[in-house]
């Protein structure tokens, strides 16, 4: 069987690719996708630990994370559409209405 | 190196490749399709970790729900050239890349020093839906209700946020749109 370290390293790589995407891309849609990727890598970590410790609470928590991710992407895309009506842009640098 | 290891490396490489594709592709639709591949490969990895129920939920919620929602929004607002206008902060991508490599090095060093623990193939009784369901609806019933309220609030919030402004309303307030 595959040791758990390999799953954790894969999860870390995916999380960091998502982080780089959030930090370096300027398109709001891509940033939302990268946030989803980061949530998924955390899910992989939780499931790997649930398998290691033979405990189902990790899998239950993954279910909760999935619910939060669905809510997050719905509200985030709604905010994106609302802002698009306002400024006709999906660049994150244009979202500066509340910046002083 | 046995079959499970080779399978893990193949699927993991595909998953990381799809993740890199999401970040690097220039067209938003391509990013969404790469994201679909990424979610599918992660579902395969969940099966190898004794989480069959969560693998099915992953395919249904992420690949069936979230990616479709993102694709709908891309179709709605158009996916023209909308990138790399931030020339006044051109150092940000490099800073992100450097921070990411630093973080990866730290995490990998920590993980490689911990002893390798093999995963019991019989752990969690295979993660079949009946086992997960029994745990979910007996000890964690409050979590289910919390998720229900969360999803309801998110639904109402998304409806309120994304609705088009009425003409007389938009003239009075700029913030509500």
Instruction: Identify which of A12, A98, A59, A47 has the alpha carbon closest to the alpha carbon of residue B49.
Output: A47
pLDDT at residue A100, rounded to an integer: 64
Of B103 and A36, the one with more pLDDT: A36
Domain architecture of chain A: domains with CATH: 4-98 (1.10.287.3510)
Q: State residue A92's pLDDT score.
A: 80
Once rounded to an integer, what is the mean pLDDT over residues B77-101?
69
Mean pLDDT of all residues in A10-28: 88
Averaged pLDDT of chain B: 82
Cα angle B153, B143, A60 (rounded to 5 degrees) comes to 120
Which segment of A51-60, A86-95, B42-51, B80-89 scores lowest on mean pLDDT?
A: B80-89
Residue B7 CA neighbour count, 13 Å, CB half: 13
When pLDDT is cut at 50, 70 and 90, the band that residue B11 belongs to is very high
Q: How far is it, in rounded angstroms, from Cα B82 to Cα A93?
A: 11
**Residue B75 distance to chain A (closest CA, Å):** 12
Specify which of A33-37, B90-94, B123-127 reaches the highest per-range mean pLDDT: A33-37
- What is the number of other CB atoms lying within 10 angstroms of the CB of residue A90? 26
* Nearest neighbour of A44 by CB, restricted to B42, B97, B112: B42
Interval A36-57 mean pLDDT: 89
> A-chain residues within 8 Å CB-CB of B19?
13-14, 17-18, 37
Nearest chain B CA: its distance from A100 CA (Å): 15
User: Is the pLDDT confidence value at A7 over 70?
Assistant: yes
Reported pTM: 0.85
Q: What is the pLDDT of residue A66?
A: 92
pLDDT at B93 over 80: no
In terms of average pLDDT, the best of B31-40, B134-143, B166-175 is: B31-40
Distance of CA B89 to the CA centre of its chain: 27
**pLDDT (mean) for B94-115:** 81
- Find the mean pLDDT for residues A2-26: 87
With CB atoms and an 8 Å threshold, state whether B117 touches A86: no
Beta bridge partners of A27: A91
ipTM: 0.91
Q: Which of A9, A22, A48, A74 to mutate against chain B (most B CBs within 10 Å)?
A: A74
Joined tokens for residue B169: 């309303």
Neighboring chain A residues of B20 at a CB cutoff of 8 Å: 17
pLDDT digits (tens, 9 = 90+) for A71-83: 999 999 998 888 8
Check whether B146 has a pLDDT greater than 60.
yes
Q: Quick check: B73 and A80 in contact, CB under 8 A? A: yes
Give the pair of three-digit tokens for residue B12. 């993991």
pLDDT at B86 over 60: no
């Amino acid at each position: 069987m595959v040791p758990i370290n390999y799953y954790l390293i894969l999860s870390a790589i995916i999380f960091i690719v998502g982080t780089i995407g959030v930090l370096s891309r300027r398109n709001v849609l891509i940033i939302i996708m990268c946030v989803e990727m980061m949530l998924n890598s955390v899910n992989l970590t939780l499931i790997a630990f649930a398998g290691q410790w033979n405990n189902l609470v990790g899998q239950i928590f993954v279910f909760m994370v999935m619910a939060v991710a669905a809510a997050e992407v719905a509200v985030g895309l709604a905010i994106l559409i609302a802002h698009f009506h306002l400024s006709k842009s999906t660049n994150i640098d244009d979202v500066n209405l509340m910046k002083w | 190196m046995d079959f499970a290891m080779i399978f893990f490396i193949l699927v993991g490489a595909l998953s990381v490749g799809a993740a890199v594709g999401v970040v690097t592709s220039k067209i938003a639709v391509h990013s969404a399709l790469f994201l679909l591949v990424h979610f599918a490969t992660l579902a395969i990895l969940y099966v190898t970790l004794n989480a069959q129920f969560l693998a099915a939920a992953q395919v249904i919620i992420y690949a069936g729900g979230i990616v479709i929602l993102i694709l709908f929004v891309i179709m709605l607002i158009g996916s023209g050239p909308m990138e790399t206008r931030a020339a006044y902060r051109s150092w940000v991508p490099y800073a992100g890349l450097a921070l990411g490599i630093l973080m990866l090095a730290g995490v990998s060093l920590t993980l490689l020093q911990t002893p390798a623990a093999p995963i019991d193939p019989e752990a969690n009784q295979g993660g079949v839906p009946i086992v997960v369901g029994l745990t979910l609806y007996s000890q964690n019933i409050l979590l289910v209700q919390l998720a229900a309220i969360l999803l309801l609030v998110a639904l109402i919030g998304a409806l309120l946020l994304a609705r088009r402004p009425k003409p007389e309303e938009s003239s009075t307030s700029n913030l509500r749109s």
